[in-house]
Structure 1
Amino acid sequence: MSKMNNFEFDDVVVESSERPVKFPEPDTTPGKSARTIKKEDLAQVLLNGGKMTLSEARHVVDAFFEAIRSSLEGGGHVRLYGFGNFELRKKDQRPGRNPKTGAKIEIAARRVVTFHASARLRARIDEGQ
């Protein structure tokens, strides 16, 4: 964990956000979605940029997700321009039903993470890109 806190994001340079990104071939393991992207795939993309080692690339990916996780745990919002927003929402306690037995139950209050795609991401998805 201390390793992650010492990482300097200023050392990472993205030359162009419009450059196409090539992900490794999809995992074709039976029962898995062919379009699933894993953290290791993101590290491989950074590695293929040629500016860092695999260890550094994994560290960048882990630090990125840890920053999102920490912000959400602290009640903050995460806004990624051109991608979308992650927000923490509180859900109140509410009545529910056990689908198997039909018995009435109380669903406990909880916090959930929601994602809202940006207009730019929605437009790209609608265009089929």
Structure 2
Amino acid sequence: MTKSELIAELAAANPHLLGRDVELIVQTIFDEISTALSRGDRVELRGFGAFIVKKRDARTGRNPRTGDTVSVEEKTVPFFKAGKELRERVNQRASRQRRAAPSVAAKT
């Protein structure tokens, strides 16, 4: 789902809100998460997950095109850890899809 699809679905689910208001709400949420992460803060959305910043140490890597070794500097990267409820919902859906799909072995 893209950001514009998210905005469209939220606007459709909340007809009492103007489309531009829904867009502003979504953008504000994303901006606040980005601002908190840039400060090094953790953002936790109960039942959904947590956004944190992780530190990656400097290392020696390889240029995939040439194979030459290159030094990669230390950096911080955003990281998302799914919450328990989200993991369970995703796993339930995946298991339902596996059960609903016909087995390849059964066809042979």
TM-score calculated relative to the size of structure 2: 0.80
Instruction: Indicate the residue corresponding to 1:64 in structure 2.
Output: 29
Instruction: Indicate the residue corresponding to 1:79 in structure 2.
Output: 44
Q: CA RMSD in A?
A: 1.3
Instruction: Indicate the residue corresponding to 2:5 in structure 1.
Output: 41
Q: Distance in 2 between matches of 1:83 and 1:92?
A: 28
Alignment-mate amino acid for residue 43 of structure 1: I
Shift, 1:83, TM fit = 0.8
- 1:115 aligned to 2:80? yes
Given that 1:43 and 1:61 are in contact with CA atoms closer than 8 Å, whether structure 2 keeps it comes out as yes
Instruction: Indicate the residue corresponding to 2:101 in structure 1.
Output: none
Instruction: Indicate the residue corresponding to 1:50 in structure 2.
Output: 15
- 1:103 aligned to 2:68? yes
- The percentage of counterpart residues that share the same residue type is 31
User: 3-state DSSP class of the match of 1:42?
Assistant: helix
Unaligned runs of 5+ in 1: 1-36
Shift, 1:115, TM fit = 0.8
Instruction: Indicate the residue corresponding to 2:89 in structure 1.
Output: 124
| Greater share of helix | 2
Shift, 1:78, TM fit = 0.9
| Greater share of strand | 2
User: 3-state DSSP class of the match of 2:71?
Assistant: strand
Unaligned runs of 5+ in 2: 95-108
Q: Which has the higher contact order (CA 8 A, sep 6+)?
A: 2
Q: Distance in 1 between matches of 2:54 and 2:43?
A: 13
Q: Could you list the runs of 4 or more consecutive aligned residues of structure 1 that deviate by over 3 angstroms after TM superposition?
A: none
Shift, 1:98, TM fit = 1.5
CA offsets 1:73-126 (integer angstroms, 9 cap, x no match): 111111111111111011111111122222111011111011111111111111
Q: Distance in 2 between matches of 1:91 and 1:85?
A: 18
Given that 1:79 and 1:86 are in contact with CA atoms closer than 8 Å, whether structure 2 keeps it comes out as yes
